[in-house]
Amino acid sequence: MLCLFACAQANAVNDGNVNSTLDPGVVRIDEAKFLGTPLDQNFVLLDENGEEFTLAEQMGKPLILLFSYYTCDGVCETLNKYLAQRLKELKESEPTRDYRALTISFDKNDNVKSLGHFSHHKVGVPEDLKDRWKLSVMKNPEDIKRLTESLGIRYFWSSRDKVFIHPNAFIFVTPKGRVARYLHGAEFTVRDLNLALVDADWENISQAGRVIDILVGVCFSYNFEEGKYTLNIPLVVGVASLLSGIFITLFAFRVKINKKKNQEYKTCTSSE
- Provide the pLDDT for residue 145: 94
CA distance 201 to 183: 16
Average pLDDT over residues 2-8: 44
Same domain, 255 and 144: no
54 CB contacts (<8 Å, ≥6 apart)? 41, 42, 43, 44, 45
Parent domain of 266? 233-272
Pairing of strands 133-138, 44-46: antiparallel
Average pLDDT over residues 123-141: 92
Same domain, 87 and 140: yes
Same domain, 262 and 224: no
CA distances from 92 to 52, 89, 96, 123, 194 (A): 31, 5, 10, 20, 12
Same domain, 241 and 143: no
Inside any domain, residue 7:
no
pTM: 0.70
Amino acid 12 reads A
Residue 55 sits in a domain whose CATH number is 3.40.30.10
CA distance 50 to 126: 19
Same domain, 88 and 218: yes
Same domain, 208 and 264: no
Per the model's pLDDT, the better-predicted residue between 21 and 48 turns out to be: 48
Amino acid 40 reads D
